[in-house]
Structure 1
Amino acid sequence: METCFELLAERDTVLKELYKQYGVPYIPSRPQGFVTLCKLILEQQVSLASAKACFLKLEAKLVAITPQNIINATDEELRSCTVSRQKSVYLKELANAVLLNQIDLDNLSKISSEEVRNQLIQIKGIGNWTVDVYLMFALGDLDLFPLGDIALINTMKELYKCNSTEEMIVISNAWKPYRSLATYLFWHHYLEKRGRKPLIY
């Protein structure tokens, strides 16, 4: 892994400085499957701390986070765990897709990232950010640039003085095939500047 970061440092002066400052950053890893996708749905557009608190309440309420338990949970039970009405719908859509065999989560590790995206994006409530992070954290894709991530966008604006998505994409093209690794460096920098550590749960 160090060799990959060294290659990135050779191509980009900003990444070179970050790598010199931090070394190899924390690289998140999550298990493949239903629970991780549920966590990512809960993490959409909220802080990780809020999502973690919500997930832990949901886990305590349901005992186990399974597709059937999500389907069986009433709207009131989900609301009592601070799951929003919209995210309740999304969790149930995912659970239904699994129970009806519309998607085989165990098979995703055996197909291309593009095919994974094509399958997951069909499920209501799963957009490109959720797919990107699942591919990175659960399936180990090294070459993703999740432009739906606010922390990444803000860090790019800060370090490269760029404002448009187009500019960010052009800059990121120089990091292929290790764009995910560059992203981990940016996330690490974002947290360090705010005196925060990765939130693991």
Structure 2
Amino acid sequence: MTAPSRRKLKAACETLAAADPALSRAYDELGVPTWRVGEPCYAALCRLIAYQQLSTKAAGSIWARTETYFREVTPDAVLAADPEDIRACGMSRPKVRHMVSIAEAITSGALDLERVCASDLDLARKELVSVKGIGPWTAELFLLYSVGAMDAFPVGDVGLMEAHKLLSEVETRMEIKEFSAHAEVWRPYRGVAAHMLWGWINDQRAKASQASPQA
């Protein structure tokens, strides 16, 4: 996958900065964000599933064990594996079932990732979420990282809502419905807004970590 060009990202950032003071502050402090890039493949979907509802550190360890076990995470490899062996890597039973379900959809042709990459964004979303195990959050992140869709947007992502709250210098974080409605002003660059917010809050966390006294 190729990320959107820096020229396109810069133009999108300038549009977003003019539309939202919080994004204006993020852009002033960080500039054009680095686009997170992933391959548009089955393993990318499995990785997103592994990271659901876990800390980055814990999920990273689980995914590393999963990759070590399979060497290459493919639909055929997962379908041939004993589900208990996958669970031994740290995956929960529901996550293993999701991996299997997605592998079956790809093998049967019900899910065609090349078609997803070439489709209109709404059609791509529809095809992804039609598969058991791929929810809206997973679909949007796949479309962001692996397809490079500039308007893909993971509604309800706590990190995005927290970053926007901090940048807005307010005490209360928006509820999901309110945040989703607010994000409408960011179209057609909601995915760029997400990268701006993630980039800013990750930078803040890195600075706080560096400032903390070492044990």
Q: What TM-score do the two structures reach when normalised by structure 2? A: 0.85
Q: Percentage identity across aligned positions?
A: 29
Q: Are 2:151 and 2:190, in contact at CA under 8 Å, matched by a contact in 1? A: yes
CA shift, 1:49, in A, is: 2.4
1:96 to 96, 99, 104: 104
Structure 1: which 5+ residue stretches go unaligned?
197-201
* Equivalent residues in 2 for 1:22-33, closer than 5 Å: 22-33=30-41
Q: RMSD between aligned alpha carbons? A: 1.6
2:181 aligned partner: 170
Select between 94-103 and 166-175 the one with higher mean Cα deviation.
Answer: 166-175
Indicate yes or no: 2:68 matched with 1:56: no
User: Following the alignment from structure 2 to structure 1, what is the Cα–Cα distance between the partners of residues 161 and 109?
Assistant: 36
CA shift, 1:170, in A, is: 3.1
Select between 151-160 and 116-125 the one with higher mean Cα deviation.
Answer: 151-160
User: Following the alignment from structure 2 to structure 1, what is the Cα–Cα distance between the partners of residues 123 and 35?
Assistant: 24
2:197 to 186, 189, 193: 186
Number of equivalenced pairs: 196
User: Following the alignment from structure 2 to structure 1, what is the Cα–Cα distance between the partners of residues 112 and 162?
Assistant: 35
User: Following the alignment from structure 2 to structure 1, what is the Cα–Cα distance between the partners of residues 158 and 33?
Assistant: 19
Q: Are 1:128 and 1:148, in contact at CA under 8 Å, matched by a contact in 2? A: no
CA shift, 1:136, in A, is: 0.8
Q: 3-state SS of the aligned residue for 2:206?
A: coil
Select between 90-99 and 164-173 the one with higher mean Cα deviation.
Answer: 164-173
1:72 to 73, 77, 80: 80
Select between 79-88 and 47-56 the one with higher mean Cα deviation.
Answer: 47-56
Q: Which amino acid aligns with 1:165?
A: I
2:212 aligned partner: none
CA shift, 1:75, in A, is: 2.4
**Residues 128-180 of structure 1: per-residue CA shift (max 9 Å, x gap):** 00011011111111113311312112223333445223322332122221111
Structure 2: which 5+ residue stretches go unaligned?
1-8, 208-215
2:133 aligned partner: 125
Q: 3-state SS of the aligned residue for 1:5?
A: helix
Select between 43-52 and 130-139 the one with higher mean Cα deviation.
Answer: 43-52
2:123 aligned partner: 115
